Structure 1
Amino acid sequence: MPASVPAPSPGAAVHGQSPTGPEREAARREAARLEAVRRYDILDTPPDGAFDRVAALASRLFDVPVATVAIVDSDRIWFKAASGLDGVRQIGRDPGLCASAILRDGTTVIPDTLADPVACSNPLVAGAMGVRFYAAAPITTPDGHRLGTVNILDTRPRVISDDDMATLADLAAIVLGEMELRLSALRAVRAEQDRRRAEQAARTRAERDKAALAEFASTLQRTLLPPALPTVPGLELACHYQTASPQDVGGDFYDVFPLSDERWAFFLGDVCGKGAEAAVVTSLTRYTLRAAAQHHDDPRAVLSALNAALLLDASIGSRFCTCLFGFLEPAAGAGFDVTVASGGHPPAYHVRTRPGGAVRVDPVHLRGGMLVGAFEEAAFASRTVHLEPGQGLLLYTDGLTEARLADGTMLGESGVADFLSRRTGPTEATALVEDAVALLRDLPQDSGDDVALLALSVPPHDAGGPGVSVSAHTSARATDDAGAAGRKD
């Protein structure tokens, strides 16, 4: 049977002499081995059931009182698992049975430790434990480094067969497999941490770059919602915004802004998610839509520009949004022509009063409009709606349609249309928004999501005709007990 080999002190000089060539090579190998031990990050980790089962299995298979899974450090033998060594976590390396065993490629077997010149002085042999038999199989990495051993110890001399040694080697291979799985998991966690740090760095760079843009872009980045709606001659505007939670930054957005003396643009949408990351997307979305509206006459082209910007910005990740974007122009006769494009957003509602006072509600369906920022070749749909005096247009985010009724079902698009058709109030923008806010307030459950509303209406002829200029801006937060919106004129 093979015997143990004394563990060298790699690289040590004797009586001040320089290390010899073999000593330098031994020191180099030991340094590489210790680097491999550190790579697996196994030392001083908590007990692990997988390694404990290997030690227990070795004890049962070989009918020995002690079995261990040991890692050889620079100055100690550390037990990742031990069966029969209660309370012992580590022992000194020199002199050490494991330290000798890792110098061999194959299994080390000492049938009688008292007959072995090195093992006989080991504390486990000479001490109270009285170990008389020792066998160990090295835990060897794919690149040839022996990290430690799987050991079996007995208090009486004994002999084991070649099959037994092969079984012990298999147990050592199982230990290495568990260590490889653990290392793979650690690498995955570290890679995820590195990825998040890289994303944060990219987000920081993106914010720094955006800050160097024109002053209005910088202002839009700091403000997710416009402080007030503009005054559009001959048109009434109203809006409402409330967040689902005062602790979260909402992902809904809207805006109305002039392009010329007789042309305006508007948009309303919803970013996937909430919080700081959604705020970054919202900021970029508002800036891009404002900038693209200056260069495109087709609202579909504006949404295409936003789609490209979201896909190119590294700070956005996999976030996307839905959006309605449109242009407003005074019609030749009376009222306004509204050309609107959809990027996967719920339809707006065209509200008008029929003769006799009945209300007609028509959804402005735009079939084929895809999510913005999700697909490189996204297609968008557009449509022109004519708003005559006394007619209105209501845009909303899915916080309205996903509000829950008493039976727990969602209000849905059909529920919104039904609510609008049953209204008895006027079709002015302010009334549309206030009634929708009242609907949300009266529902038995919170919407659970942010809600943004934007309404446009043309005042009736008897309200002052095309010269009337009215703008209302309402806002609310989830912390408002009544849920009602304050009004600014």
Structure 2
Amino acid sequence: MTSEAQRCAPPAPADERRRLRAVRRYHILDTPPDGVFDRIAGLAARFFDVPIATVAIVDEDRVWFKSAHGLHGVREVPREPGLYATAVAHGVPHVVPDTLADPRTADHPLVRGEPGIRFYASAPITTADGHHLGSVDVLDTRPRRVSREQIAALQDFAALVMDELELRLSAMRTVSSERALRTDAERLARTLQRTLLPPALPQVPGLCAAAAYHTASADEVGGDFYDLFPLDDDRWAFFLGDVCGKGADAAALTSLTRYTLRAAAIYDPEPRTALANLDSVLKGEYQGDNPRYCTALFGVLLPEPGGTFSVTLASGGHPSALALRADGTVEPLATPGGQLIGLLPRPQFTGITTRLAPGDAVLLYTDGLTEARHPDGTMLGEEGLSAHLSAAAWQDADGLLAVVDDLLTALGAGVSDDTALLALSVPPVPHTTQENR
């Protein structure tokens, strides 16, 4: 927390000019409501059990709400000290347990007038170069206190907002640059595709992770996606899936799906719950005669003694992941009954728990792989893929993906759909030879 003098001191004019330039470079002000930001605000409200949560951008003389969960009909408020302006000025989490008892906030319009705010907490939305664009905020009409863990979660929500803004800025810059340089559809599609996938996978202690994306059409943006990211303890979350359709609509759905799953994992990382949250978002965002849906696998990794990992996996209508054991066997991690996400009135999401011991691996893939065809027209299928992998030699996740890459190359023209791959492997015990590889 900051001192009283720091809280009250206004930002230097030069710093404020630079901050406003940073706000404008993201082209976010006065844009229409957006499902991704609305979802983050809604999750924050649920996590804190408060009626109001906002994603706020602080402009020169106003606070503009990109999302205002629970503030019906309010799009902006004047920029006044005490609440939003104070949080942005100093770039640290800002908590007011009782707004009427604090002279800095007692006269704020949202406190004295409707809706009568009595509690306020915020975390700044901070760019990589240190500028505070705004904040993610939770508000209540009664006084209350928060824990350190809740403040840390609020900072995570703010980081999600910043990630989404960076993603969109990157896409805008890419499109602008490509339009200026060339109209080559193939290069543009490849560049846009990269903005929908993580640039690199994080390093998980005790685990090797690798991912790949193979496009069937060089001039069209696909809808397959994957991710791997840490949770708030030793656990790691991962997912892989496939949205319906191609092109710009699929790209928008992919972005919404990926960031919804990340945000859902902050609220509750239980895999079936995460898929249920995604289902609710897709139904809320795509209504009427044009529903949008996807399939996905969502999993959580938990390290255990002896170099083993517990894997809890849930499926929403997606092909089974494959567990490749150290003895050379390939075991489908079947989740029968898992249904499409975003389409059915009351879908079922099914789960399975397994363990990865030293020398084991798990492979997640989209159906572009198993629906690929041999030159004679027969489909590869899950059985054909399992047979190929059980006969192949690989050492880790990178080697496993190399085996699949070689298979896709051999199938050639028989590959008619995009394929996303995510492999996770546990290193074998040192000085132990492995047979049947």
Matching residue of 2:163:
216
Matches of 1:264 and 1:389, distance apart in 2: 18
From the superposition, tell whether residues 300 and 335 of structure 1 become closer, same or farther in structure 2 (CA, over 3 Å).
same
Matching residue of 1:284:
256
The residue type equivalent to 2:302 in the other structure is: E
Report the count of equivalent residues: 257
Matches of 2:231 and 2:36, distance apart in 1: 28
Unaligned stretches of 5+ residues in structure 1: 1-202, 465-489
Matching residue of 2:400:
432
CA contact (8 A) 1:220 1:283 kept: no
Matching residue of 1:331:
304
Matching residue of 1:418:
387
Matches of 1:452 and 1:219, distance apart in 2: 23
- The Cα offsets for residues 438-472 of structure 1, whole Å up to 9 and x where unpaired, read as 100011424111110000000012189xxxxxxxx
Matching residue of 2:198:
226
Matches of 1:313 and 1:463, distance apart in 2: 53
CA contact (8 A) 2:308 2:357 kept: yes
CA contact (8 A) 2:286 2:292 kept: no
CA contact (8 A) 1:400 1:447 kept: yes
Matching residue within 34, 44, 47 for 1:206: 34
Q: Does residue 1:343 correspond to 2:343, yes or no?
A: no
Counterparts of 1:289-308 in structure 2 under 5 Å? Answer: 289-308=261-280
Counterparts of 1:66-215 in structure 2 under 5 Å? Answer: 205-206=33-34, 212=66, 214-215=161-162
Matching residue of 2:339:
370
CA contact (8 A) 2:223 2:243 kept: yes
Q: Does residue 1:256 correspond to 2:228, yes or no?
A: yes
Give the share of equivalent positions with the same residue, in percent: 51
Matches of 1:432 and 1:232, distance apart in 2: 17
From the superposition, tell whether residues 207 and 296 of structure 1 become closer, same or farther in structure 2 (CA, over 3 Å).
closer
CA contact (8 A) 2:36 2:259 kept: no
Deviation at 1:299, TM superposition (A): 0.5
- The Cα offsets for residues 142-186 of structure 1, whole Å up to 9 and x where unpaired, read as xxxxxxxxxxxxxxxxxxxxxxxxxxxxxxxxxxxxxxxxxxxxx
Matches of 2:247 and 2:385, distance apart in 1: 27
Give SS of 2:388's match: helix
Deviation at 1:228, TM superposition (A): 0.2
TM-score (norm 1): 0.50
Counterparts of 1:448-459 in structure 2 under 5 Å? Answer: 448-459=416-427
The residue type equivalent to 1:456 in the other structure is: L
The residue type equivalent to 1:308 in the other structure is: S
Deviation at 1:314, TM superposition (A): 3.6
CA contact (8 A) 1:307 1:376 kept: no
From the superposition, tell whether residues 422 and 332 of structure 1 become closer, same or farther in structure 2 (CA, over 3 Å).
same
Q: Does residue 1:321 correspond to 2:314, yes or no?
A: no
Give SS of 1:286's match: helix
Matching residue of 1:244:
216
From the superposition, tell whether residues 204 and 436 of structure 1 become closer, same or farther in structure 2 (CA, over 3 Å).
farther
TM-score (norm 2): 0.56
From the superposition, tell whether residues 327 and 207 of structure 1 become closer, same or farther in structure 2 (CA, over 3 Å).
closer
Higher alpha-carbon Rg: 1
Matches of 1:266 and 1:463, distance apart in 2: 30
Give SS of 1:406's match: coil
Q: Does residue 1:401 correspond to 2:370, yes or no?
A: yes
Matching residue of 1:126:
none
Matching residue of 2:329:
360
Matches of 1:392 and 1:208, distance apart in 2: 33
Unaligned stretches of 5+ residues in structure 2: 1-30, 39-54, 56-65, 68-160, 172-194, 433-437
